[in-house]
Chains A and B, each alone.
Chain A
Amino acid sequence: MDEPTDSAGTMHLPFLLQACGLVRRAADRVLLQAVSLDVRGGDRIAIAGPTGSGKTLLLRALALLDPLQGGQVRWHGDDVRHDDVPKFRSRVIYLHQRPVLAEGTVEENLRQPFSFRVHRERRFDPALHRERLASLGRDASFLRKLQRDLSGGESQIVALLRAMQLDPEVLLLDEPTSALDSHSSQAVERLVDSWFSEQPERLAVIWVTHDRQQAHRVANCVLEMNGGSLQSSRST
């Protein structure tokens, strides 16, 4: 990969996120075979590959959601452990393929993360959401909609708004549009794009996708995953 200068890595644009030789085994199968990946501010990476190739597991591993059998995830050059994990996950947010929302209104769902200790300094900001919703052609009444009345696309939008309001540095998107129609898919892509454009030097996004066209549309670099390995065909 591109010369990781390790401890002296601060000399130029530092890595936001690094995966170093991630290994994941289950029973007698190797699900991730020593996967390494460097993510810098400004990176928009798409990961393509067949079903079962380990794309989801890689994203989950990057968010430290699963115990690993080898390797490590570094955030700004440092190991992340124990008590730092919630803070890390509040900046590097993984979004499930099918979003899981709690019962209640959209606004209640958006407020939920503010009950966590890691976000106690933050306040829920309805104006921010109204602005982002307006860019999708929706008004503030969306905030009062009930979770059970949301379509798949609307749920995905709520999940994105919920993550974006926390000012993440990296979004890990696990096929966010795979179950959506083209209209909803566009809305999701637009939302992510406008978030990214706010501070393109500081932020990064990794998409897992089946769709090659989408991969080239949303990313400036497409990686291929196969049999638990990441092919390092880094095409910019």
Chain B
Amino acid sequence: MRFLSSSIGKKIVVALTGLVLVGFVFGHMIGHLLMFAGPAAYNEYAHFLHTVGHGMGIWVARSVVFGSIIVHVLFTIQLTKQNRAARAEPYGYQHTQVASKSSRVMIISGLTLLSFFIYHILHFTVRVWHGFNQLPLFDLAGEKVFDAYQMMIKGFSFPLVTGFYILSMVFLCSHLSHGVASIPQTLGLNTEASGKLFKKLGLAFAFLILAGFSVVPLAINMGLVK
């Protein structure tokens, strides 16, 4: 389609898929904070996710998130290639006036997050390591359900894994600090005033996500959540 082959068309698709992922990341973070509410609350939440809509709900959500990631990554790789080609010869004297460091490494932070995402899926969704699938079932008011709470405790019992997760969240924070504020600009919703507001909101959101995701593995490592 002609729209998708244009510069602005691609950018708009990147902004829309980014918006979907921003929403997902926020919901995902809120869900994980239930670790502080104890095993019953967390496992009930996990059980709900796996059974809502007769077990189809989670597949709809997964399809939307996976699809968004694939499109977001493919289009940004294409755009980045075009951008590099557009400045074939670099300046002898390099100078940056206002562009943030985060905005200049979006492709690096983004591809690092992609590799983290693959690891994360293998770690906690496919559960290829640590024998998570053999964990004893949890008794949720008489119903035997998967013990996602214990999986989290075991999964974050290695400082190296915790370190990698938190490092990835720093990359996510960097990525969001530029990405969130870019969404309304690319979608054509920005005015002078809203641009400044969205910049602040984007930064606040990025650090909220960093804090919200880091606090769970840190608490487990420090033995505050058992």
A and B bind: no
Q: Write the residues of chain A forming the contact surface with B, with a CB cutoff of 8 angstroms.
A: none
Q: Write the residues of chain B forming the contact surface with A, with a CB cutoff of 8 angstroms.
A: none
